[in-house]
Amino acid sequence: MKNNFDVIDIKGRKFLYSQKVEDHFFNPRNVLDNRADLKKFNARAKIGAPACGDVMKVYLRINPKTKIITDFKWKTFGCASAIASTSILSEMAIGKTIDQAYKITADKIVKALGGLPKKKIHCSVLGDRALRAAIDNFRKR
Protein backbone atom coordinates (compact mmCIF):
# COMPACT_ATOMS: atom_id res chain seq x y z
CA MET A 1 0.00 0.00 0.00
CA LYS A 2 1.41 3.39 -1.02
CA ASN A 3 1.43 6.14 1.58
CA ASN A 4 0.87 9.83 0.91
CA PHE A 5 4.52 10.73 1.45
CA ASP A 6 7.50 10.79 -0.90
CA VAL A 7 11.17 11.14 -0.11
CA ILE A 8 12.71 14.24 -1.65
CA ASP A 9 16.47 14.57 -1.92
CA ILE A 10 17.52 18.19 -1.40
CA LYS A 11 21.27 18.79 -1.52
CA GLY A 12 22.02 15.25 -0.45
CA ARG A 13 19.57 15.26 2.50
CA LYS A 14 16.46 13.14 2.37
CA PHE A 15 13.13 14.47 3.67
CA LEU A 16 9.76 12.82 3.90
CA TYR A 17 7.13 15.16 2.47
CA SER A 18 3.47 14.78 1.63
CA GLN A 19 2.39 15.16 -1.97
CA LYS A 20 0.65 18.41 -0.94
CA VAL A 21 3.95 19.83 0.36
CA GLU A 22 5.67 18.79 -2.86
CA ASP A 23 2.95 20.46 -4.92
CA HIS A 24 3.13 23.77 -3.01
CA PHE A 25 6.94 23.72 -3.04
CA PHE A 26 7.31 23.04 -6.76
CA ASN A 27 4.22 25.08 -7.75
CA PRO A 28 3.88 27.81 -5.11
CA ARG A 29 0.74 29.95 -5.21
CA ASN A 30 0.45 33.72 -4.77
CA VAL A 31 4.19 34.47 -4.79
CA LEU A 32 4.96 38.19 -4.91
CA ASP A 33 6.01 39.24 -8.39
CA ASN A 34 9.08 41.47 -8.27
CA ARG A 35 7.23 43.95 -10.47
CA ALA A 36 4.22 44.14 -8.13
CA ASP A 37 3.01 47.51 -6.95
CA LEU A 38 3.54 47.23 -3.20
CA LYS A 39 1.39 50.33 -2.62
CA LYS A 40 -1.75 48.30 -3.31
CA PHE A 41 -1.15 46.25 -0.15
CA ASN A 42 -2.37 47.81 3.08
CA ALA A 43 -0.83 45.26 5.46
CA ARG A 44 2.60 43.72 5.60
CA ALA A 45 4.93 41.81 7.87
CA LYS A 46 8.34 40.21 7.92
CA ILE A 47 9.06 37.29 10.22
CA GLY A 48 12.32 35.42 10.47
CA ALA A 49 13.91 32.53 12.30
CA PRO A 50 17.63 33.23 12.47
CA ALA A 51 18.30 29.73 13.83
CA CYS A 52 17.21 28.09 10.60
CA GLY A 53 17.50 30.97 8.14
CA ASP A 54 13.85 31.07 7.08
CA VAL A 55 12.38 34.53 6.46
CA MET A 56 8.80 35.23 5.37
CA LYS A 57 7.51 38.49 3.94
CA VAL A 58 3.73 38.74 3.73
CA TYR A 59 1.70 41.41 1.90
CA LEU A 60 -2.07 41.61 2.29
CA ARG A 61 -4.75 43.66 0.59
CA ILE A 62 -7.65 43.96 2.99
CA ASN A 63 -10.95 45.60 2.13
CA PRO A 64 -11.22 48.39 4.73
CA LYS A 65 -15.02 48.17 4.88
CA THR A 66 -15.56 44.40 4.99
CA LYS A 67 -12.18 43.49 6.54
CA ILE A 68 -11.91 40.65 4.00
CA ILE A 69 -8.47 39.64 2.71
CA THR A 70 -8.75 40.09 -1.04
CA ASP A 71 -5.11 39.44 -1.94
CA PHE A 72 -2.19 37.74 -0.22
CA LYS A 73 1.28 37.81 -1.74
CA TRP A 74 4.47 36.58 -0.17
CA LYS A 75 8.18 35.96 -0.51
CA THR A 76 9.80 33.25 1.57
CA PHE A 77 13.49 32.55 1.79
CA GLY A 78 13.93 29.09 3.21
CA CYS A 79 13.36 25.39 2.89
CA ALA A 80 10.64 23.42 1.11
CA SER A 81 8.50 23.33 4.26
CA ALA A 82 8.67 27.11 4.69
CA ILE A 83 7.76 27.76 1.06
CA ALA A 84 4.93 25.21 1.06
CA SER A 85 3.60 26.55 4.38
CA THR A 86 3.43 30.12 3.07
CA SER A 87 1.90 29.02 -0.22
CA ILE A 88 -0.94 27.06 1.36
CA LEU A 89 -1.44 29.75 4.01
CA SER A 90 -2.04 32.30 1.25
CA GLU A 91 -4.81 30.09 -0.16
CA MET A 92 -6.29 29.56 3.28
CA ALA A 93 -6.45 33.30 4.07
CA ILE A 94 -7.78 34.81 0.84
CA GLY A 95 -11.52 35.43 1.11
CA LYS A 96 -11.57 35.32 4.90
CA THR A 97 -12.19 38.22 7.24
CA ILE A 98 -9.18 39.28 9.26
CA ASP A 99 -10.83 37.80 12.38
CA GLN A 100 -11.24 34.43 10.62
CA ALA A 101 -7.70 34.53 9.21
CA TYR A 102 -6.26 35.39 12.62
CA LYS A 103 -7.50 32.00 13.81
CA ILE A 104 -5.43 30.07 11.26
CA THR A 105 -2.93 28.19 13.40
CA ALA A 106 0.28 26.34 12.68
CA ASP A 107 -1.61 23.09 13.32
CA LYS A 108 -4.16 24.00 10.64
CA ILE A 109 -1.37 24.76 8.17
CA VAL A 110 0.34 21.42 8.91
CA LYS A 111 -2.98 19.58 8.54
CA ALA A 112 -3.74 21.33 5.22
CA LEU A 113 -0.30 20.25 3.96
CA GLY A 114 -0.90 16.64 4.94
CA GLY A 115 1.81 16.84 7.60
CA LEU A 116 5.39 18.02 7.92
CA PRO A 117 8.48 16.31 9.30
CA LYS A 118 8.78 17.03 13.05
CA LYS A 119 11.91 19.10 12.63
CA LYS A 120 10.11 21.28 10.06
CA ILE A 121 7.00 22.16 12.10
CA HIS A 122 8.55 25.54 12.97
CA CYS A 123 7.97 26.59 9.35
CA SER A 124 4.22 26.49 9.82
CA VAL A 125 4.61 28.49 13.05
CA LEU A 126 6.44 31.18 11.08
CA GLY A 127 3.52 31.26 8.66
CA ASP A 128 0.81 31.87 11.21
CA ARG A 129 3.02 34.43 13.00
CA ALA A 130 3.61 36.30 9.72
CA LEU A 131 -0.11 36.40 8.91
CA ARG A 132 -1.00 37.66 12.40
CA ALA A 133 1.75 40.29 12.26
CA ALA A 134 0.40 41.57 8.93
CA ILE A 135 -3.14 41.72 10.32
CA ASP A 136 -1.83 43.57 13.39
CA ASN A 137 -0.05 45.97 11.01
CA PHE A 138 -3.39 46.64 9.25
CA ARG A 139 -5.21 47.22 12.54
CA LYS A 140 -2.60 49.79 13.65
CA ARG A 141 -3.07 51.91 10.51
Instruction: Just list the catalytic residues.
Output: 52, 123
Answer whether 94's CB lies under 8 Å from 30's CB. Answer: yes
State the CB neighbour count (10 A cutoff) for residue 141. 8
* Those residues with Cβ within 8 angstroms of residue 65's Cβ, 6 or more apart along the chain or in another chain: none
Report how far residue 94's alpha carbon sits from residue 134's, in angstroms, rounded to the nearest whole number: 13
Looking at this protein, which amino acid is placed at residue 28? Answer: P
DSSP secondary structure, 48-81, as one string: EETTTTEEEEEEEEE-TTT-BEEEEEEEEES-HH
